[in-house]
Amino acid sequence: MVFPSDDPMTTRAAQPPSRTVEVGGRRIAYRQAGEPSLPALVLLHGLGGNAAMWRRQYSALSHRFRVIGWDMPGYGGSDPLPGTPEPADYAGALAAFLDAIGVDAANVVGQSVGALIAASFARVFPGRTRAVVLAHPLFGFGALPAGERSAAVEERTGSFLRLGPHGFAEDRGPRLLAPGASEGLVAEVVGTMAGARPEGYVPAVAMMADIDLPTEAARVAAPLHVIAGSGDPLAPPERCRVLARSLPGATCTVVERAGHYAALERPEAFDSALLAAFGEPERT
């Protein structure tokens, strides 16, 4: 699939093909670029994403990393997790997926709800985590009283189920981008969000009730970095700065003229923030 882009160079960049691997009897779909000998960079999308949303990063970073993006369970070509999965279940699924493709340890980037999975993975599997970037992080509902947690989950899932994936994407997608986003970029984000399926979206939102990002991230031993968009309505930059200040050694980069999708809106600035967070990798 080829998406429209603000940058003609990224339009010409080849999208890595989607592949699948069986993990515990379930399929996980993913895309990757870069030599297997390079350090692994694992990209975890949010509620309105999939592995294809990182097309610019596959192109720009594959000479320095083995860049891997998965379709979160229940998204794209990936089968959902059974039951009502908790954050540790997503972390375990990620670990099993990395085992299946031969990755021992990785730099992990989690965008939006993917930041919750990244933090949980880093806490549960510290020996497999080199560094973590929390990009436009959602904080989860775990710090709320039980009644408010249930209401927050119901508000998100109710809107999605009522409008359907396409209606939800058309209503919400444009509002997540910084003002002045091009028609092509809006269409790309809406098209990607519209691909979300209830069997992926609903459990992922329910998972948010069981986690509080500041608490989870405080238990991560790996280096942490936060990336915010100056115009992000879901993860405002000041909230991200406060999060970074609360974590020993953590830093925060604010990408100007970006909303909730800096990797799409300002890919060069986003990639520069990643490289600064992870340093110059060396071949293994």
CATH number at residue 19: 3.40.50.1820
122 three-class SS: helix
Instruction: Find the farthest-apart pair of alpha carbons in the chain and give their distance in angstroms, rounded.
Output: 50
Flag whether 3 is in a domain. no
State the pairing for strand pair 19-23/26-33. antiparallel
Flag whether 250 is in a domain. yes
Q: Which amino acid is at 205?
A: V
Q: What pLDDT is stored for residue 245 in this prediction?
A: 98
Flag whether 203 is in a domain. yes
**Mean pLDDT of the 241-269 span:** 97
pLDDT of residue 8 exceeding 90, the answer is: no
Point out which residues pair with 33 in neighbouring strands: 67
Flag whether 282 is in a domain. no
pLDDT of residue 142 exceeding 70, the answer is: yes
Phi-psi region of 228 (alpha: psi -120 to 50; beta: other; left: phi over 0): beta
Flag whether 179 is in a domain. yes
Point out which residues pair with 42 in neighbouring strands: 68, 108
Q: What pLDDT is stored for residue 196 in this prediction?
A: 97
pLDDT of residue 229 exceeding 80, the answer is: yes
pTM of model > 0.85: yes
pLDDT of residue 284 exceeding 90, the answer is: no
pLDDT tens-digit series, residues 79-132:
999 999 999 999 999 999 999 999 999 999 999 999 999 999 999 999 999 999
- Structural domain boundaries enclosing 109: 8-276
Which residues 6+ apart lie within 8 Å of 197 measured at CB?
74, 75, 165
Write phi, then psi, for 233 (nearest 5 degrees). Answer: -80, -20
Q: What pLDDT is stored for residue 13 in this prediction?
A: 53
What total of structural domains would you count in the chain? Answer: 1
